[in-house]
Amino acid sequence: MHRLQMLSKVTYGATAAVVDQVASLGAAGFLERQLMIPPAGTGNVLFGTHSLDADTATRYQLYKDQDSNRPARELRHAAVIRAVRHEGQLAERMVEFWTNHFSTYSGEEDKNVRFAAASDDRDVIRAHALGRFSDLLLASARSVSMQLYLDNYRSTGSRPNQNYAREIMELHTMGASNGYDEADVEQVARILTGWGLAGRLDVDGLRFEYQPSRHFAGPCEVTVVHPDGSVNTFSTPGRSGPEGEQDGIDLINWLARRPNTADHLAAKLVRRFVGDDPPGSLVASTAEVYLANDTAIVPVLRHILTSSEFITNQYPKVRTPFELIVAMLRTTGATIAQDFSVTADMPATRSISDHLTRLGHEMWSWPTPDGFADNQSFWLTTSTMLRRWELAGRIGNSSLGGVTVDSAALLPNPMPATIDLVVYALAERLRLAVTETDVTAIATFLGVATDAPVADARVNTSLGDVIGLLLSHPSGQYR
Amino acid sequence: MSSVAAQSCAECAPAGSKRISRRAVLKGAGAVGAVTVAMPGWGGVAFASNEANRTGDIIVNIFLRGGMDGLSVVAPLHAGAGADLLAIARPTLNIDPSRLIPLNADFGLHPMMAALMPIWAAGTLALIPAAGFPNGDRSHFAVQRKMDEGLDAGAVGSGWLARHLDNTFSPGPTGLRAASMPNGQRSMSGSSVAVTMNSTDTFRVDGFRNNANSGAAVRAALRELNGVSGGNLVNERAQEALIALDVVSSAPSSPPANGAVYPTTGSGRNVGRVLSEIAELIRADVGLEAVATEANFGWDLHDNFGDDTTGRQAQNLEALADVLAAFAQDLGSNMDRVTVVLMTEFGRTFRENGGFGVDHGRASTMFVLGGGVRGGLYGDWPGLEAQNIDGNALRVTVDYRSVLADILEHRLATGNMAAVLPGYVDTPEKRLNLALPLG
């Protein structure tokens, strides 16, 4: 049972290689190995001119005259390639998680986030995905992308802008209204004044810079009520000059270590890996592990992924559209074009991006900083059901641009005598749990009885649709 | 409280009193405009019973996500109403009062929202400039969620429109009772009847080779594969989608009526498309009773709010006004049985910040329009003097639920107000009486 969980919830979808590896290492050994492998880097992901390893100045030159959505499309294309191919599946899952936790919107023409988003993905999210949360949070606070998106670089001591201050408390650390009030938001905004950007996109690129002249050099206090009712106050006399930056560093380290933050992160992680209604006892024990390990992420994941709640799999979890695409591509053994161009959408770039958009998972273009919700009613609507089926049909028929499935290779060899046995074998290969009713439905679709000889069913001419229907099966919508 | 009452329009008696039937005024105005709506022939055949049987209006709930500044929608015209205080608080963002379109002696509308003036003149547009969430929260997400759920605190896990539908008798036969477009909108969440459609045009199953008879064989197979016996949300949504496919694919399509033109560029493009499709479904009489949508124009203007013509707020407001005007024109006399309500999670701060923007505030403007609406400005104006400002923001004097209560009672004949707005203590004093009784 635990091995199945490893296949379906730690990875994005089982491949023959993963099945073999779990068999040889055992579930615990497989998990330990996954906890060690960092996320994929920028090499061998996209071919052609791309900006994954560029700096903001280079990226600006590449993209300034291009479709403003293309940088986000580049990231989506690269994210799918990496999640399909990278051995560190858990690391890629955590990249998906933190990308959403520190969600930025790159679609606004005048905010320039699009020129910095790929740097954020590389230097913040991927660099710290399995590291320490306090380091990740600090890196995010200094991220050019986040600075641009939530306006902190504009905030000054005399006129603080609360946008980032509010979200670092509400979304990135403690959770909405969780032990602080409006006055605290204002104080956090003041403490983080001076955290800004230097450089010019069109000259040397943008980089984080602490600017003492814009820092509020006066006393500030942030008071948090912990979940147990105790009160903890962060205070600073308000340093001036270069030392003023330390006010913010201390604050960020303090925020990362609040029990409120531990609860908020634990609930989100348990919801991600275990189920939509995370069991309270597991959330509480996970929060303890987080605090006991000084915000290190690996022990937290190990705790969740070895918990009885995870292993017994009592809580069904619907695949996000990103997970669904990646799972379908992995189980069908699809080939995905890695060709990318800055000046025009290559087929896989367009198809991956378009389908994520239609399915409601337009990563790097979610307009608000809260990220996508993580529950099945958010993802499953009548409209997105149609799109989930369409995706299945296109993958089965190799009509998803830039994606090729060798459908004949999925057929059993030797071929069984009757159509029902072929359908069962295909379903097993695709790791779908079909019933007799399902097999009958597919035979009916082919216009034959379930015990019809394979030759009568014209399987070869309808194979793409049959794979598409199987990939539309409800069991494939769940992890 | 300031002595300036927003609740006054030239020809309206104070709310709560017996007053001139605004509906009669509307009908007169409509006749003068000589707007003739040609009902397509099929309308009387396929779905004749829906329009005739529906008890209340079709409600269209548009949530303006992101926190729309209200002080630039309805703004004071002169010092006595607070114009000077606003100019001091917003040295670079303020609109010159002479540029506002006067709504009454004290207040004017943003100059880029002129497209709404014919509706205002017809007396079918109510503006509530100090409305909002009754408690002090300024988190986008917390407040949006509570407003979508019809609450002032806590959570119930379902939307107020979903509960209205569940608690209100609907005479059959019905096709598509409720829609959420283009994505799941939370005021519909938990609804057993609402269908989410990204767009009516793309509401079909693509991707399969076998598309004979509109993909009938594929749909039949999907129906079986997603059998009701599965008992999970995937199966449930799948069955709803397949039924809705049948209804939508058999409803004839038609272009916007009465010469209505929706924006096709700028921030109004997406919302314009959605509202044109909503209008099309209403004209097709498929049985709609409620629609939920949202307009994410980019209201969250912490920076670069802009000037009153080419600025971002101005452009957003123009797009919003253009879309609403096109919708009303498109529907023509169908608007007699439609009520549109717009709300946002909060307005913006009174004083501008260091980035030429405004942060999260409190009250903003709610809009209600439709044939059964008594046009005018509603609610007490809180004033902009220091002692009246609520944490650098316009004070909320009208609980958003008071506006919904008027609509629910008078326009929707809701079956159980307490179930739709749990925790809302409904008293006559809170009500604005901005809607005419049905009938």
Least confident of A207-221, A464-478, B95-109, B149-163: B149-163
Closest partner residue to B196 (CB to CB) among A316, A381, A437 is A381
d(CA A54, CA B170): 59
Q: Are residues B246 and B268 in the same domain?
A: no
Which pLDDT score, from 0 to 100, does residue B251 have?
A: 83
Residue of chain B nearest A388, judged by CA positions: B205
CB of A151 within 8 Å of a chain B CB? The answer is yes
Give the number of beta-carbon pairs within 8 Å between A and B.
176
d(CA B99, CA B317): 15
Q: Tell me what the mean pLDDT of segment A192-196 comes to.
A: 97
d(CA B427, CA B208): 56
d(CA A14, CA A476): 12
Long-range contacts formed by B76-81: CB under 8 A, 24+ apart:
B76/B4, B76/B106, B76/B107, B76/B108, B76/B384, B77/B102, B77/B105, B77/B106, B77/B107, B77/B108, B78/B106, B80/B4, B80/B106, B81/B2, B81/B4, B81/B106, B81/B107, B81/B381
d(CA B195, CA B278): 12
Last residue of a domain, one of B218, B250, B282: B250
Which pLDDT score, from 0 to 100, does residue B44 have?
A: 27
Cβ contacts of A178 on chain B, cutoff 8 Å: none
- Nearest CA to B160 out of B344, B414, B371 is that of B414
d(CA A356, CA B15): 49
Q: Are residues B140 and B275 in the same domain?
A: yes
How many Cβ atoms are within 10 Å of B212's Cβ, its own excluded?
9
d(CA A190, CA A211): 13
Asked if the structure places residue B57 within a domain, the reply is yes
- Nearest CA to B182 out of B202, B162, B204 is that of B202
Q: Are residues B73 and B218 in the same domain?
A: no
Which pLDDT score, from 0 to 100, does residue B29 have?
A: 25
Per-residue pLDDT of chain B (439 residues; tens, 9 = 90+): 343 444 444 344 333 322 222 222 222 222 222 222 222 222 222 333 456 667 899 999 999 999 999 999 999 999 999 999 999 999 999 999 999 999 999 999 999 999 999 999 999 999 999 999 999 889 898 899 999 999 998 888 899 999 999 888 776 555 788 999 887 789 998 887 888 888 888 888 999 999 888 789 999 999 999 987 767 899 989 998 998 888 888 887 899 999 999 999 888 999 999 999 999 999 988 889 999 999 988 899 999 999 999 999 999 999 999 999 999 999 999 999 999 999 999 999 999 998 899 999 999 999 999 999 999 999 999 999 999 999 999 999 999 999 999 999 999 999 899 999 999 999 999 999 999 999 7
Are A308 and A326 in contact by the 8 Å Cβ rule? The answer is no
- Nearest CA to B175 out of B339, B285, B283, B45 is that of B285
Residues listed for chain B: 439
Which pLDDT score, from 0 to 100, does residue B10 have?
A: 37
- The DSSP element (H or E) to which A31 belongs, if any, is helix A16-36
How many Cβ atoms are within 10 Å of A229's Cβ, its own excluded?
7
Are A405 and A424 in contact by the 8 Å Cβ rule? The answer is no
Which pLDDT score, from 0 to 100, does residue B50 have?
A: 58
d(CA B344, CA B206): 36
Closest partner residue to A469 (CB to CB) among B203, B221, B359 is B221
How many Cβ atoms are within 10 Å of A15's Cβ, its own excluded?
18
- Nearest CA to A363 out of A86, A56, A52, A121 is that of A121
Is the model more confident about B157 or about A424?
Answer: A424
Are A27 and A3 in contact by the 8 Å Cβ rule? The answer is yes
Reduced to 3 states, what is the DSSP secondary structure of residue A232? strand
Q: Are residues B70 and B180 in the same domain?
A: yes
d(CA A388, CA A373): 18
Last residue of a domain, one of B190, B216, B250: B250
Which pLDDT score, from 0 to 100, does residue B231 have?
A: 72
The CA–CA distances, whole Å, from A408 to A347, A426, B314 equal: 23, 10, 58
Closest partner residue to A182 (CB to CB) among B183, B198, B391 is B391
Asked if the structure places residue B257 within a domain, the reply is no
| A411 has a pLDDT exceeding 50 | yes
pLDDT in tens, A10-24: 999 989 899 999 999
Report yes or no on whether pTM surpasses 0.95.
no
The secondary structure of B323-386 as a DSSP string is: HHHHHHHHHGGGGGGEEEEEEES--BBSS--TTSS--B-S-EEEEEEETTB--EE-SB----SG
Q: Which residues contact B424 (CB under 8 A, 6 or more apart)?
A: B150, B152, B399, B401, B405, B417
- The amino acid at A315: Y
The secondary structure of B14-77 as a DSSP string is: PTTS----HHHHHHHHHHHTT------TTHHHHSHHHHHH--SPEEEEEEETT---STTTEEES
Q: Are the Cβ atoms of B66 and A367 closer than 8 angstroms?
A: yes
d(CA A430, CA A471): 8
Q: What is the DSSP letter of A373?
A: -
CB of A465 within 8 Å of a chain B CB? The answer is yes
Residue of chain B nearest A432, judged by CA positions: B225
Bridge-based pairing of strands B107-109 and B101-102 is antiparallel
Q: Are residues B158 and B27 in the same domain?
A: yes
Closest partner residue to A474 (CB to CB) among B208, B210, B232 is B232
CB of A321 within 8 Å of a chain B CB? The answer is no
Closest partner residue to A380 (CB to CB) among B138, B202, B237 is B237
- The amino acid at B427: T
B109 φ/ψ angles, rounded to the nearest 5 degrees: -95, 150
d(CA A237, CA A243): 12
Q: How many distinct structural domains can be found in chain B?
A: 2
Asked if the structure places residue B354 within a domain, the reply is yes
d(CA A46, CA A338): 5
Query: With helix as H, strand as E and coil as C, how does B59-97 read?
Result: EEEEEECCCCCCCCCEEECCHHHCHHHHHHHCCCCCCCH
Looking at every residue in chain A, the average pLDDT score rounds to 95
Q: Are residues B287 and B353 in the same domain?
A: yes
Which pLDDT score, from 0 to 100, does residue B170 have?
A: 73
A330 φ/ψ angles, rounded to the nearest 5 degrees: -70, -50
Asked if the structure places residue B118 within a domain, the reply is yes
Tokens of A273: 């890996």
Residues listed for chain A: 479
**Nearest CA-CA distance, residue B53 and chain A, Å:** 26
Asked if the structure places residue B193 within a domain, the reply is yes
Asked if the structure places residue B438 within a domain, the reply is no
Which pLDDT score, from 0 to 100, does residue B91 have?
A: 95
How many Cβ atoms are within 10 Å of B214's Cβ, its own excluded?
12
Q: What is the DSSP letter of A199?
A: S
pLDDT in tens, A113-148: 999 999 999 999 999 999 999 999 999 999 999 999
| A403 has a pLDDT exceeding 90 | yes
The CA–CA distances, whole Å, from A347 to A76, A77, A107, A339, A401 equal: 13, 10, 21, 8, 5
Query: With helix as H, strand as E and coil as C, how does B105-160 read?
Result: CCEEECHHHHHHHHHHHCCCEEEEEEEECCCCCCCHHHHHHHHHHCCCCCCCCCCH
Name the CA radius of gyration of chain A, rounded. 24
For chain B, the first-to-last Cα distance in angstroms comes to: 37
Which pLDDT score, from 0 to 100, does residue B52 have?
A: 63
Which pLDDT score, from 0 to 100, does residue B172 have?
A: 55
Closest partner residue to B224 (CB to CB) among A387, A397, A438 is A438
- The amino acid at B381: W
Place of tokens 């009160």: A231
Q: Are residues B236 and B171 in the same domain?
A: no
Q: Are residues B126 and B241 in the same domain?
A: no
Q: Are the Cβ atoms of A438 and B225 closer than 8 angstroms?
A: yes
Preceding amide of B382 cis, omega within 30:
no
- Nearest CA to A150 out of A126, A137, A166, A169 is that of A166
Q: Are the Cβ atoms of A393 and B137 closer than 8 angstroms?
A: no
Full domain range(s) for residue B223: 201-250
d(CA B353, CA A419): 69
A461 φ/ψ angles, rounded to the nearest 5 degrees: -80, -20
Q: Are residues B211 and B152 in the same domain?
A: no
- The amino acid at A313: N
| A2 has a pLDDT exceeding 70 | no
Asked if the structure places residue B307 within a domain, the reply is yes
Are B124 and B370 in contact by the 8 Å Cβ rule? The answer is yes
Q: Are residues B216 and B89 in the same domain?
A: no
- Nearest CA to B284 out of B30, B50, B34 is that of B50
Q: Are the Cβ atoms of A469 and B359 closer than 8 angstroms?
A: no
Place of tokens 């050099």: A217
Q: Are residues B217 and B185 in the same domain?
A: no
Query: Which of A109, A149, A192, A382 to mutate: most B Cβ within 10 Å?
Result: A382
Cβ contacts of B182 on chain A, cutoff 8 Å: 383
Asked if the structure places residue B283 within a domain, the reply is yes
d(CA A309, CA A230): 30
Domain containing B121 — which CATH number?
3.40.720
Tokens of B46: 């396929």
Angular region, A348: left φ>0, alpha ψ -120 to 50, beta rest: alpha
Bridge-based pairing of strands B194-196 and A335-336 is unpaired
| A5 has a pLDDT exceeding 90 | no
How many Cβ atoms are within 10 Å of A242's Cβ, its own excluded?
12
Cβ contacts of B391 on chain A, cutoff 8 Å: 182
Percent of chain A beyond pLDDT 70? 99
Is the model more confident about A312 or about A259?
Answer: A259
pLDDT in tens, A163-190: 999 999 999 999 998 999 999 999 999 9
Residue of chain B nearest A372, judged by CA positions: B141
Preceding amide of B173 cis, omega within 30:
yes
Query: Which of B68, B135, B137, B139 to mutate: most A Cβ within 10 Å?
Result: B139
Q: Are residues B189 and B311 in the same domain?
A: yes
Q: Are the Cβ atoms of B234 and A445 closer than 8 angstroms?
A: no
- Helix, strand, coil shares of chain B, percent, nearest 5, are 35, 15, 50
Q: Are the Cβ atoms of B304 and A110 closer than 8 angstroms?
A: yes
